[in-house]
Structure 1
Amino acid sequence: MTQWQPGMIITADRLNDGPPVITTASGLAAGTDFAINDFRGAKTGKMVVLDMYLARTGADIAQTGGNIVSPEPVCCTVPSGWRPTNGTINGSWDNGSSEGGFVIGTDGVCTLRTASSNISGTTGSGVSNLRLHVSFIQT
């Protein structure tokens, strides 16, 4: 990585020189009544970006006024090394017809918190595929 010094000339090579990007596609654990369709993680330096693609394989998840009816479902657990290191982080999800928020804690557990409408499962209009996205800085 370029260590910038006074008087250095900016070049494309210097601007593109950064810490390596580390990726993963394994280690995600599905929560009860969820299945993993895909998982991708990338990090560079202390920045982490996670994309989890899950299928709801259990009953519908109901919401009232935008809040998921208790208990809030744990949809997955992120592998060690890919988790927030300081506190709980908010992320977003959608399934093409509904969207909402989730949280991920330092233990890697991802919990759905809000939804704009009910989330289909096996008892509703069919299995719902949820796409979760979160980015954060590890300390």
Structure 2
Amino acid sequence: MAWQPGQIIDADGLNNPTPTTLTTGVTAATGWQVALQTLDIVSGVRIANVTLNRTGADITNPGGTSGNITPDIELCTLADDWRPPDDLYVACSTGIGSGSMRVQHDGSCQWLTWIPGANVTSGSNMRWTWTFTRRGA
């Protein structure tokens, strides 16, 4: 793999150019079940994909009239390999509704916003992805 502009060259990238994929490390909160979890690690860059299936009761209009979810709702926790060095704010979606998620450096994934008036029904799949590098890797 050739160096690309903006790519960080570090020991992890030089010593491990072969892609690695982890398929464990996400623990769903009550009312959710992990449907997909992949963490691809290539030359020090980590690309995480999570899909949680809503197994609990329908969540009626979690964003209210403003879109803000108060308090934030923890949907899952992440093992160390999945954790970014700083909190990240990313989009999430069921394919019908959309909102935002905070992926925290302590491993908590919290649901922050949701389109006003939209429900999340039992059986819905909540999806989000994020990309990061580890400091000092």
Higher strand share: 2
Who wins on radius of gyration, i.e. which is larger? 1
C-alpha distance in 1, partners of 2:34/2:81? 19
SS of alignment partner, residue 102 of structure 1: strand
Could you tell me which residue of structure 2 aligns to residue 135 of structure 1?
Answer: 131
Could you tell me which residue of structure 2 aligns to residue 103 of structure 1?
Answer: 102
C-alpha distance in 1, partners of 2:71/2:56? 14
Could you tell me which residue of structure 1 aligns to residue 51 of structure 2?
Answer: 53
Percent of residue pairs bearing the same amino acid type: 25
**Contact persistence 1:66–1:114 (CA under 8 A):** yes
Could you tell me which residue of structure 2 aligns to residue 73 of structure 1?
Answer: 73
Number of residue equivalences: 119
C-alpha distance in 1, partners of 2:77/2:94? 19
C-alpha distance in 1, partners of 2:97/2:133? 27
TM-score (norm 1): 0.75
Could you tell me which residue of structure 2 aligns to residue 113 of structure 1?
Answer: 112
Q: Residue 24 of structure 1: CA displacement?
A: 0.6
**Contact persistence 1:32–1:74 (CA under 8 A):** no
Q: Residue 137 of structure 1: CA displacement?
A: 2.2
Task: String of CA shifts for 1:75-115, please: whole Å, max 9, x gaps.
Answer: 11122122112x21112211111111101111111101111
Q: Are 1:22 and 2:23 an aligned pair?
A: no
Paired amino acid for 2:74: V
C-alpha distance in 1, partners of 2:112/2:51? 17
**Contact persistence 2:25–2:82 (CA under 8 A):** no
C-alpha distance in 1, partners of 2:115/2:99? 6
Could you tell me which residue of structure 1 aligns to residue 42 of structure 2?
Answer: 44
Structure 2 residue ranges without an equivalent (≥5): 4-15
**Contact persistence 1:92–1:134 (CA under 8 A):** no
After the TM superposition, list the runs of 4 or more consecutive aligned residues in structure 1 that deviate by more than 6 angstroms. Answer: none
Could you tell me which residue of structure 2 aligns to residue 63 of structure 1?
Answer: 63
Query: Over the residues paired in the alignment, what is the CA RMSD in angstroms?
Result: 2.1
SS of alignment partner, residue 97 of structure 1: coil
Could you tell me which residue of structure 2 aligns to residue 13 of structure 1?
Answer: none
